[in-house]
């Protein structure tokens, strides 16, 4: 029966990550969150597939996406976001028919949310969340019904972090969104006339010079008129 052949998920996951020598952060987070126990108690029968970020992936997180600052319930959601509720060996991921896959976080947060887009890109399996694109770097553990793969980035769900809230600390990994039409409209560098380009508010050529010349002429004319008036008064 499935319950008799199903491995002890908590033991296998923890041991596999420790033996991987590059998943200490993930192993610690999974153990502390209690999520592994939830995996172990899952009786769905279809198995699970875990995408586990390497240690450097956590170090590369930008300040706006600091995992450690999340409350416990949101940490658990992000961890579940790294798990598919089906067993997929690498070959199945490479030829997956439906690229949009629900995660264990989908079961918690609602249908249609917290999904992963899985595809083959440049010979590797790519995992896209909408704001992060990670690649599968290695197979850590593969024994039916559990598959564990190392990935290059922490998978951040767009439902929690949003498309415009994350700035990468290093180039690559985060999906680049096209800027909105007004995103840079008010910056000085993009304002009309900033780089010697005339704008609709710029004065026409020679405007300042003409104003100065006219002002001087008006002063001289006024002075002459005043002098003539004084002479006439004296004569009278």
Q: What would the pLDDT profile of 57-101 be if each residue is shown by its tens digit?
A: 999 998 888 777 889 999 999 999 999 989 999 999 999 989 999
Determine the Cα–Cα distance for residues 107 and 59; give it in Å rounded to an integer.
29
What ranges do the domains of the chain cover?
2-161
pTM for this prediction? 0.68
CATH for 2-161? 2.30.180.10
pLDDT of residue 156: 96
Mean pLDDT of the chain: 74
pLDDT of residue 44: 53
C-beta separation of 130 from 175 below 8 A: yes
Q: Does residue 220 or residue 37 have the better pLDDT?
A: 37
Taking residues 40-68, what's their average pLDDT? 83
Q: Write the pLDDT tens digit of every residue in 172-220.
A: 555 544 333 343 433 333 433 334 443 333 334 443 444 344 544 454 4
Q: Write the pLDDT tens digit of every residue in 129-146.
A: 999 999 999 999 998 888
Percent of the chain with pLDDT strictly greater than 70: 62
Percent of the chain with pLDDT strictly greater than 90: 44
Strand-pairing partners, residue 121, are: 124
Strand-pairing partners, residue 115, are: 102
Determine the Cα–Cα distance for residues 129 and 113; give it in Å rounded to an integer.
11
Taking residues 156-179, what's their average pLDDT? 64
């Amino acid at each position: 029966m499935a319950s008799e052949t199903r491995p002890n998920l908590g033991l296998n996951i923890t041991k596999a990550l420790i033996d991987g020598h590059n998943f200490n952060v993930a192993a610690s987070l999974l153990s502390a969150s209690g999520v592994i126990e939830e995996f172990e108690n899952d009786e769905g029968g279809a198995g699970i597939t875990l995408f586990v970020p390497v240690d450097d992936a956590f170090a590369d997180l930008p300040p706006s996406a600091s995992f450690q600052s999340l409350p416990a319930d949101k940490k658990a959601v992000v961890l579940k976001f790294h798990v598919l509720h089906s067993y997929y060996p690498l070959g199945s991921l490479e030829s997956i028919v439906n690229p949009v896959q629900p995660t264990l976080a989908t079961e918690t947060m609602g249908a249609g949310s917290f999904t992963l887009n899985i595809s083959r890109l440049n010979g590797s399996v790519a995992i896209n969340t909408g704001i992060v694109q990670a690649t599968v770097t290695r197979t850590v553990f593969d024994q039916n019904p559990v598959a564990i793969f190392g990935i290059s980035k922490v998978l951040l769900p767009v439902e929690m972090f949003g498309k415009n809230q994350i700035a990468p600390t290093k180039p690559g990994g985060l999906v680049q969104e096209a800027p909105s039409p007004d995103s840079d409209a008010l910056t000085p560098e993009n304002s009309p006339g900033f780089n010697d380009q005339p704008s609709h508010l710029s004065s026409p050529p020679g405007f300042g010079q003409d104003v100065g010349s006219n002002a001087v002429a008006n002063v001289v004319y006024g002075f002459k008129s005043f002098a003539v008036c004084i002479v006439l008064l004296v004569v009278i």
